Amino acid sequence: MLVREPRRGAAGSRRAHDEERAALDWAEIQERMLVPLYAAVYERLEIGPGARLLGLGCGAGLALVLARARGASVTGVDEGARARLALAAERLGCSVAGAGPSREPVPPPGASVPRRDVAARGVAAAPEDVATPRLLHGSPAVLRGVDAPPYTVMTAFQPAGAMAGDYETLTARLRAALSFTAHGATVVVAGWGPPERCAASTVLRVATRLADTDASLPFGPGELGAGGGWRPERRDDLEAVAARAGLRLLGSGRVACPFGYAGTAGAVRGLLSTGLFDAAIEATDAAQVDKELREALHPYTRQDGTVWMPNVFRYVVARRD
């Protein structure tokens, strides 16, 4: 996945950034790179009033904000960093079920999104008649405590295929969440495009090399190891995830999601915020990862200092029968 959940028990959990700093870097720098993916999927599915959308791995909630701005009722579930969910709560104006102390007080249900959040993070306002959003911290099982009709759309937008074990984890989450969706519900799963179409793949290989992990592992139950390095996606991986989750495939698509940064420093912060370099930092140190990341970014740095990496992401559309 593009965002990797922090390893519990690891010293400091994030040595390059603490959880709060990483969450802010993700929300303010990196997350927006996936907006073309969110927009393309919502347009294809004609998301709007009447849609009840469940976002798995919702993180800082930008995809939920965009769906809500189109008139959909949204619920987000994430078992990763609480700091990202706290930011999602700020953006959506709701609380987080089961969350601990947040960076600052969370607005009460129905409150408007803070003005500074709108300006800094590009948050769109939702129609006034859209139901108050819900955010839950934990696995899909936490949805048992939600008194709401079944969801008509389920998305898993954090691109799978970046880490060993991603597909098994995603398949299990989809299976666990399906019981909370309506029969006939549409499910969308996203992943990286072909390595040759993703300039970021060259940079992400730094994580694999420094973590000393195998980047050429096959897809299949129990076949992917527990290593922390980046791995390229293979053809039909997403289709295999959907099939193994018991879904019927309807189609797929590709979306250009270039990674653009104002400078190298911002690019490093954004990429580190994904968590994909955590294992490399644990295996070496933050300074070494920073140095090699900057070197890997050099071919994508323009004369004016900006960084531009063209990428293509894939998604599959499936249905629960």
3-state SS of the chain is CCCCCCCCCCCCCCCCCCHHHHHHHHHHHHHHHHHHHHHHHHHHHCCCCCCEEEEECCCCCHHHHHHHHCCCEEEEEECCCHHHHHHHHHHHCCCEECCCCCCCCCCCCCCCCCHHHHHHHCCCCCCCCCCCCEEEECCHHHHHHCCCCCEEEEEEEEEECCECCHHHHHHHHHHHHHCCEEEEEEEEEEEECCHHHCCHHHHHHHHHHHHCCCCCCCCCCCCCCCCCCECCCCCCHHHHHHHHCCCEEEEEEEEECCEEECCHHHHHHHHHHCCCCHHHHHHCCHHHHHHHHHHHHHHHECCCCCEEECCEEEEEEEECC
**Residue 164's pLDDT is what?**
64
Q: Report pLDDT digits (tens) over 201-231.
A: 989 888 888 887 654 333 333 333 334 444 5
Q: Which of 139, 152, 155 is nearest to 180 (CA)?
A: 152
Distance CA(65)–CA(123), nearest Å, equals 7
Q: Is the confidence at residue 274, as pLDDT, over 70?
A: yes
Q: Report pLDDT digits (tens) over 160-210.
A: 766 667 788 899 999 999 999 999 999 999 999 988 999 999 898 888 888
The token duo for 269 is: 């912060």
> The tokens 């400091």 sit on which residue?
12
Question: Cβ-count burial of 191 within 10 angstroms (0-12 exposed, 13-18 middle, 19+ buried)?
Answer: buried
Q: Report pLDDT digits (tens) over 73-132.
A: 999 999 988 999 999 999 999 999 864 443 333 333 334 444 334 334 444 555 555 688
What structural domains and CATH numbers belong to the chain? 19-319 (3.40.50.150)
The token duo for 285 is: 């140190």
With vertex at residue 89, the alpha carbon angle to CA 14 and CA 95, rounded to the nearest 5 degrees, is 115
Amino acid identity of residue 174, one-letter, is L
Distance CA(238)–CA(245), nearest Å, equals 11
Q: Is the confidence at residue 244, as pLDDT, over 60?
A: yes
Q: Report pLDDT digits (tens) over 50-84.
A: 999 999 999 999 999 999 999 999 999 999 889 99
Distance CA(255)–CA(240), nearest Å, equals 20
**Mean pLDDT across the chain:** 83
User: 46, 107 in Cβ contact below 8 A?
Assistant: no
User: 291, 264 in Cβ contact below 8 A?
Assistant: no
Distance CA(257)–CA(160), nearest Å, equals 15
Cβ neighbours, 10 Å, residue 25: 21
Q: Report pLDDT digits (tens) over 128-160.
A: 556 889 999 999 999 998 888 999 999 999 877
The token duo for 229 is: 């390095």
The token duo for 223 is: 């076949």
The CA-to-CA distance between both ends of the chain, in Å, stands at 26
CA dihedral 35, 38, 40, 41 (to 10 degrees): 170
Backbone torsions φ then ψ of 176, nearest 5 degrees: -65, -30
